[in-house]
Structure 1
Amino acid sequence: MRNVVLYLLLALLVLGCEKESGLTSKIELEDLYAIKDDPSDPVKHRVYELYSKYGIPVYFNDTIGKIFVKKDVTGKDVYRYETLDLSWGFTSYSQLKYSYEYMTDPDEQLTALGIIEEYLELAAKPLHPFNFFVTKSAKTIDIKDEEKIYKEGEYKIHFRTVLMTGDWTESQITSLPNEMMREMVKNKITNYKDLLAAFNSVSDRVWYGKSWAKLDPHWYDYVETTDKPSYYFSPSALSDTWYAINEFEPEELEEFRAALRLAMGQFGFVAGGQSSLYTPGDNEKDLVSYISEMLNRSRDEFIELWGESPLVMAKYEILYHIVADELGVKL
């Protein structure tokens, strides 16, 4: 009798486990993020083409799918809705509340997909995000109820998602892929803490945020041998949009810029601060200027322009190892 009771208990236990397993959903996250084709819809078809080529989904809504959980006591299906959580950062959870104005116009959506495709073609695979989320605008509210609005072509790189907002100007459509790549490189570089510390240690801490002329009493000596105003001798002269560029003959401008690079390079800087009369304000601003200069030039071009400045080249080699060797960016 005792054995019979034991067998009955075992049978009930097995049946209970089978019943429970029937209520349990096997969640396949890869299926959840997979994109299905819809040839009748130009936007969905383009999204599918990008997904097929790069393996990266693009969303125009933060609710990306639903997962079956179980049936309730009345027999109705119960689902859990999966949404994009942008509060996760590279090192923390921000606890921001997000709200969105969704992008619904097909023409705007196709413009967004064009920008994204150009970025994916431009950026090496280590710089590809897990997904893109495109909205008309977005708003965040922090724990102090302070708001921030993202709109008119702004973007923000999150831990897994690149958030983009619409209403792009023609110039933004052209420049955004390169701009986003620079920002992505900057975010990725922060993972290489030892190398970044080495970069930050090259230029003396006291050189940041200082007047060029105060750091170097002979700063304007070069200009004294020309007929140009002394204030021309500043990092602004390195820009192709500099207002005074037409006042120079080509060879004269080249010599002027070469002298300027040597003057800046003695401190290990390739750009100025907010005011061109000052050095970069801190290490982060210095890093951003290097990333921009590196991505705009080949390695040979960079060495040709800055190769006579040992501190600049020391910083460049540190970043080159990260950007080219680790992140796979072709320079």
Structure 2
Amino acid sequence: MRTKLLYIIGLWGCLSLFGCGDDDNLSPSDLDGDWYVLTDSEDPLDHLRYTVYQTYGIPVFYNDTIGSQNRGVDYTGLPIIYYEVLNPNYSIESSTEYAKYELSYDRETIIVGVEFIRDEVFPRLVSSKLYPRSFLLVNKLTLNASGSSSYQHEECAYRGMMTSCVSLVEEIGEMTDAEIKRMACEIAAEEYTTYLMENSYSLLETFLNVCRAEVTSVNLYALALTSSSTPPYVDDLEEYGFLSYNKETQYSVSSKRVTTVGERADVVDYVTEVLMEDDEAFETEYGSYEYVMKKYELMKTAMENLKAALK
């Protein structure tokens, strides 16, 4: 038994030595390159993208196929080409097609879109911790886009794990200054909200508690309201402290049916308004709604605290 044990130990030692020798000759496969690194180009659009990347370290894409790689040949001798494709719907937990988009092929308007990201969006993000992994400029963006959904809606921005989609690229050049400012704030709000929800949720507690427990004893978030519900349907959701309704469910004034937004959408709405930095205009529109004004002030405080922590 002792002899057998010594034999096993000796064999294990030899195998370990051979294994270590193999490790010395290991080298990276280069099969997983960094697809998010941009290189300079003589092409005006791609050179502009490179300068933005040099400044912020974040790529702005206009094509969802962001790279390819030859990975040898298959058993028939045909080349194996791998394509890296941005997927705004990528998630560890789900493969549902929530966001659907149409690309733009108008390079002149795409240049305007890249300049918009550079001049209007990045300056509103006070820290690199708020940056997405990349931006993808698209012409049209539809959310809640699965084939079984009856309530799809178009938006200007969507934050995914792989990229943040920015829509309306072919319309930016024709927008007014006010429209450009609001769109930039809506895009930036997606980034702030993601950071707040994932890393600084405690800053939102007081804000969220207004609709969780203060307006009524019922948590109002993502709640279907009808004429017979508790609390009941109201024509103006601002009475309950909301700036918008859930676009992914039925909304009918005639049948008095609406669903309130969830917490994340509510945060996006208010962060957008805070980023607009126009207290007078906000009070003019919402000054008669007690809970809206209270939540606005609470979100201003939350954003001030977040920006201070990020500096």
- With structure 2 as the length reference, what TM-score do the two structures score? 0.60
| Aligned counterparts of 2:277 and 2:38: Cα–Cα separation in 1 | 37
- In structure 1, the partner of 2:5 is none
Question: How many residues align structurally?
Answer: 267
**Residue type matched to 1:319 in 2?**
M
CA contact (8 A) 1:270 1:290 kept: no
Cα 1:138–1:177, aligned 2, differ >3 Å: closer, same or farther?
closer
**Residue type matched to 1:62 in 2?**
D
- In structure 1, the partner of 2:256 is none
| Aligned counterparts of 2:70 and 2:87: Cα–Cα separation in 1 | 20
Cα 1:12–1:316, aligned 2, differ >3 Å: closer, same or farther?
closer
Cα 1:316–1:164, aligned 2, differ >3 Å: closer, same or farther?
closer
Counterparts of 1:1-331 in structure 2 under 5 Å?
A: 25-27=29-31, 29=33, 31-38=34-41, 40-70=42-72, 72=74, 78-88=80-90, 92-96=93-97, 101-117=102-118, 118-125=120-127, 126-137=129-140, 144-146=147-149, 154-165=156-167, 166-168=169-171, 170-171=174-175, 172-191=179-198, 192-202=200-210, 203-206=214-217, 284=263, 287=267, 290-297=270-277, 315=295, 319-320=299-300, 322-327=302-307
**Residue type matched to 1:175 in 2?**
R
**Residue type matched to 1:49 in 2?**
T
Say which one has the larger Rg. 1
The secondary structure found in structure 2 opposite 1:51 is: helix
Show structure 2 runs of 5+ residues with no match.
1-10, 246-250, 254-258
How far did residue 13 of structure 1 move?
7.8
How far did residue 106 of structure 1 move?
1.6
CA contact (8 A) 2:100 2:145 kept: no
How far did residue 272 of structure 1 move?
9.1
CA contact (8 A) 2:61 2:135 kept: yes
CA contact (8 A) 2:70 2:82 kept: yes
Cα 1:329–1:295, aligned 2, differ >3 Å: closer, same or farther?
farther
**Residue type matched to 2:116 in 1?**
I
How far did residue 204 of structure 1 move?
2.9
Quote the sequence identity (%).
22
How far did residue 298 of structure 1 move?
7.7
The secondary structure found in structure 1 opposite 2:35 is: helix
Instruction: Decide which moves more: 163-172 or 123-132.
Output: 163-172
What's the RMSD between the two structures over aligned residues? 5.3
How far did residue 72 of structure 1 move?
5.0
**Residue type matched to 2:39 in 1?**
K
CA contact (8 A) 2:141 2:157 kept: no
- With structure 1 as the length reference, what TM-score do the two structures score? 0.57
